[in-house]
């Protein structure tokens, strides 16, 4: 899952002790109907009735592990509110710094786009969101 350019810069500065980086306490997973870009733009969030970004923080994430690359994934399912109307075809997921507004921190394409209709519930199973750093194929 690629991080946006600004997060990559913050992490590099933090690593080389230029500036301390303090991530948001709780980040939020969103669903996008468009392809985001590395600047954190071109995000059009789902518009089904009832949609809301979902929190993801330490309680929902397992410990980082592995080598080439090191990876961290969700240790709890991430479930969005049920659609009570409308329809939306989502193609990407996003990580935001806030529940509304805020900035995009990372994004990735879904393996398969998903049309969410009234009565549907979007979710990510345990281990479905994988963040990687280091050599290897991005997840």
| pTM of the predicted protein model | 0.90
| Element containing residue 37 per DSSP (H, E) | none
Q: Examine residue 139 and state whether it is found in any structural domain, yes or no.
A: no
Q: What is the pLDDT of residues 102-117, one digit of tens each?
A: 999 999 999 999 999 9
pLDDT at 32: 98
Q: Examine residue 102 and state whether it is found in any structural domain, yes or no.
A: yes
Q: Examine residue 92 and state whether it is found in any structural domain, yes or no.
A: yes
Tally the domains of the chain. 1
pLDDT at 107: 95
10 alpha carbon, distance to own chain's centre: 18
Say yes or no to pLDDT of 137 above 60: no
Domain boundaries, position 98: 5-133
Q: What is the pLDDT of residues 45-58, one digit of tens each?
A: 999 999 999 999 88
Measured distance CA(85)–CA(105) in Å, rounded: 29
């Amino acid at each position: 899952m690629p991080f946006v350019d600004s997060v990559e810069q913050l992490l590099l500065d933090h690593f080389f002790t230029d500036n301390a980086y303090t991530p948001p306490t709780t980040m939020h997973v969103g669903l996008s109907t468009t392809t985001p870009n590395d600047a954190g733009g071109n995000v059009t969030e789902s518009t089904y009735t009832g949609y809301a970004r979902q929190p993801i923080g330490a309680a929902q994430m397992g410990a980082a592990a592995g080598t080439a690359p090191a990876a961290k994934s969700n240790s709890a399912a991430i479930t969005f509110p049920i659609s009570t109307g409308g329809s939306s075809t989502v193609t990407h997921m996003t990580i935001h710094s806030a529940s509304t507004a805020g900035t995009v921190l990372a994004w990735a394409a879904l393996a398969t786009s998903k049309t969410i209709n009234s009565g549907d519930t979007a979710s990510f199973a345990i281990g479905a969101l994988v963040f990687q750093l280091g050599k290897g194929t991005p997840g």
